[in-house]
A and B are shown apart, each in its own frame.
Chain A
């Protein structure tokens, strides 16, 4: 494994952690707030939305990493996956 790949793994791992902990914190805060105030449920829902956005973020980050390494083949593959996921989002909103 090249040094670039090791660095890319670190950035990707940090992205995943950032998404996971942000979503976790918002959901827990929302659940606790929900016991006191009615808008607590909205904070929890925001946490779930962060959770739903994290997979997209990880594709974008991987795609950018591939571009930086001039690995255009896999940048294109990542872009293809991103296109399908965005299509699912668009179809989901319309449904």
Chain B
């Protein structure tokens, strides 16, 4: 690999990790399509590499959330029982799904994520930050476990974290405060992604030459992002991510229609 390509990968990782930490969303969803469209990686390899980026973001940012006592480790561990099972099954199945189908699923998920980010951005304009976390007891574990199983499945299949699925369920059905839900989801994502990453790694779908510079960038970006996030308004970053996600979804659809992703 040329030095220029390596630096480009570091920069992509830095942006994905930084934007992700600033906006409170996983930056992974922009990494997979970038690798698949512009670096010509097969979908399975793009997903395998992205899983490592997801673990890096989760590890770097959740160390800070845990320190601030925002993460509910007990709740996270319980739901991980379901996310890991979903991730394991999906990672085993993903191998037998052809690249075009994976690309179609990914494009759909990109659009869904863009939609949920628009809603999140809109809410962030008015909502005040919860400074003090109210007392709560998680409710409706069956709903939480079911959503976690599905989120884990998507994670293993598409290399994403699954936050857009878990966080709303924790918030609406389990009655967990938003900040706790987001931090706990973030904590879980690393374990979920690692479960499927082992399967991808074992199959040789994790390209070390591509993953190493990307992960280095993700680490730097998310450590910096998590540090300055309390001082920055998420609105503009979310809107920027919506534009990037929309553009990448359009590119993927165009490539699919013109017979790409074979």
Interface residues, chain A, with chain B CB atoms under 8 Å away: 1, 5-6, 8-10, 12-13, 16-17, 19-20, 23-24, 27-28, 30-31, 35, 41, 44-45, 47-48, 51-52, 54-56, 58-59, 62, 74, 77-78, 80-81, 84-85, 87-89, 91-95
Contact = CB atoms under 8 A, between A and B. Distances in A.
Q: Is the interface of A mostly helix, strand, loop or mixed?
A: helix
B59 A20 contact: yes
B196 interface: yes
A48 B73 contact: no
Contacts of A30: 212
A17 B211 CA distance: 20
Nearest to B80: A81
A13 B67 contact: yes
Interface residues of B, number: 52
A55 B194 contact: yes
Interface of B: 3, 6, 52, 55-56, 58-60, 62-64, 66-67, 69, 71, 73-74, 77-78, 80-81, 84-85, 87-88, 91-92, 95, 190-191, 193-203, 206, 208-209, 211-213, 215-216, 219-220, 223
Q: Quick one: which of A6, A51, A89 has the most chain B CB within 10 A? A: A51
Given A44-B208, A58-B190, A84-B195, A51 B203 contact: no
